[in-house]
Amino acid sequence: MNITVYSGFSKRRNSTKQPTGGRSITCTLKHPTSIIHPVFLIQNFDLSDNYVEWNNRFYFVDDIVVENNNMASYHCSVDALGSWKTQISGLSEFVARSASSFDGKIIDSLYPAKAGVTVDRVNFSTLNASVASFRVSGGGGYYIVGVYSAGGGTGAITYYILSPSEFSQIVSYMLSDVWLDSSETDITIATQKQLINPMQYIASCFWYPFDGLSGVGAGDMFSFGFWDTNVGAKMLDVSDRKFILNDYVTAPAHPESGTRGKYLSDSPYTRRTITCWGFGQIPIDPSGLVDVDTLSVQIDVDLFTGAGTMQIIAGIDLIGTYHAQLGVPIQLAQLSQDIQNSLVSGIGAIGSALKLNFLGAASGVVDSVESWIPKMSIMGSTGSAVDYMFTPNLESEFKLQAPMDSVHNGRPLCQQTTIGSLSGYIKTENADVDLPCTQEERDQIAGFMDGGFFFE
């Protein structure tokens, strides 16, 4: 009988590779023998022979036993992958890993993550520019003051937007002319301020650092209670209540996502945080930025209350809504006196003195004097503007993986596909080997496919 013998043929045990060339020789099949593990008696043997083709099957030469000077026995074992390559290529299997095709969204947990992170920060330039004046000089911005007034507005409250100079004039007006003048015979504006504290007409006062606030101007007169201040200030209506800021950044991809897969731009390999003014640090779900890289924010500010709402959008999908106080509350103070009680107290002091009730007179006079001393009336509390000194940004932290070897390990595919459509390393799950071969060969092929083999 004749067989084809190959010398120096190199292939992996778990490969479908088939040889070319070879030489045909006459040999004797040792009896009895196995079709899976045959033994061939060959004259004029070559010790470099390592592969045999016989009866449409390929065999590895496991050992060569020299019988005498002219004859050796080749002890062989069947190469099921090489023998049934054509049939294997037509099998449709669930392929877990493949070197030639992969799904970059499937997490490849074969490689552990390295310790430490790589950090990338991208600033929201438009948001930063909106507070440029404040960040450069520490001043600027605008004040929104709500007052009780008959001048109209939202319900009983009228809101004005004031520049720093206009706000300074209002404060100056409220703090001036507060002492009684003994020469005054009429109830003047100054006296009215002492009898009725002007601060009680201030409903709210917020400062905003935004350069883009509209409506600033001296088109109206700042009025509160029944006072006209003669200070020009723009009155706001309901349509002016909301101020909107928009910005976006291009979110950086994981530095290894281009070569290893998009799954690295998702957790646990990527963590993203937005830092913005009063909202603080907001962790966002990185999964929304796996397929898109545009991260947008829209901040709606209620100028009347100082409340802010931020919507975070990945591409066109809303991925989060957050709330914070963006208006900085301003504390206002006014010197005032209780004129009515001080007058009564003064009369009592005089009566006690006429009765020579020295102790009573002394006490009454002290009460009278104290009641005439102006008291500090405070409205609200002062908030912090320090957050606006920091630039809003998107911070991305990336964990890197150990080096990848896709040639010998493939990459995740997890699809039902035909083996012949792939090449190189392939690993299946629960391979269904329906081939017209022996059971031992079927078991061998299934074991190689599920353990990982090379289709070549």
Q: Taking 80 as the threshold, does the pLDDT of residue 227 lie above it?
A: no
- Chain position carrying tokens 């790589």: 118
CA-CA distance, 312 to 301, in Å (whole number)?
15
Q: What tokens appear for 182 in the block?
A: 């003994």
pLDDT of residue 188: 61
pLDDT of residue 126: 95
pLDDT of residue 191: 59
For 106-114, what is the mean pLDDT?
95
Q: Residue 110 in contact with residue 93, Cβ under 8 Å?
A: no
Q: Residue 146 in contact with residue 304, Cβ under 8 Å?
A: yes
CA-CA distance, 168 to 173, in Å (whole number)?
9
Q: What percent of the chain has pLDDT over 70?
A: 81
What residue type is assigned to position 183 of the chain? S
Q: What tokens appear for 49 in the block?
A: 């022979």
Give tens-digit pLDDT for 279-312: 999 999 999 999 999 999 999 999 999 999 999 9
For 254-282, what is the mean pLDDT?
94
Q: Measuring CA to CA, which residue among 220, 238, 237 is closest to residue 229?
A: 220
The angle at the Cα of 83, spanning 81 to 89, to the nearest 5 degrees, equals 60
Fill in the DSSP letter of residue 254. Answer: P
Which H helix or E strand runs over 300? strand 294-302
Q: How many angstroms separate the Cα of 98 from the Cα of each of 208, 410, 422, 450?
A: 57, 4, 8, 12
The larger pLDDT score, comparing residue 288 to residue 230, is at: 288
pLDDT of residue 13: 95
CA-CA distance, 279 to 392, in Å (whole number)?
10
pLDDT of residue 15: 98
DSSP-assigned letters across all residues of 107-172? --TTSPBPSS-EEEEEE-HHHHHHTHHHHHHS---EEEEEEEBTT-SBTTEEEEEE-HHHHHHHHH
3-class secondary structure, 454: strand
Q: 416: which strand partners?
A: 94
Q: State the average pLDDT for the chain.
A: 84
CA-CA distance, 456 to 453, in Å (whole number)?
9
- Those residues whose C-beta lies under 8 Å from the C-beta of residue 454, and which sit 6 or more positions away, are 12, 14, 15, 16, 17, 424, 425, 426
Give tens-digit pLDDT for 353-409: 333 343 333 344 334 334 333 443 334 444 578 889 899 999 999 999 999 999 999
Q: Measuring CA to CA, which residue among 330, 444, 357 is closest to residue 78?
A: 444
Give tens-digit pLDDT for 170-211: 888 776 654 444 454 555 655 555 556 677 788 899 999 998
The total number of residues shown for the chain amounts to 456
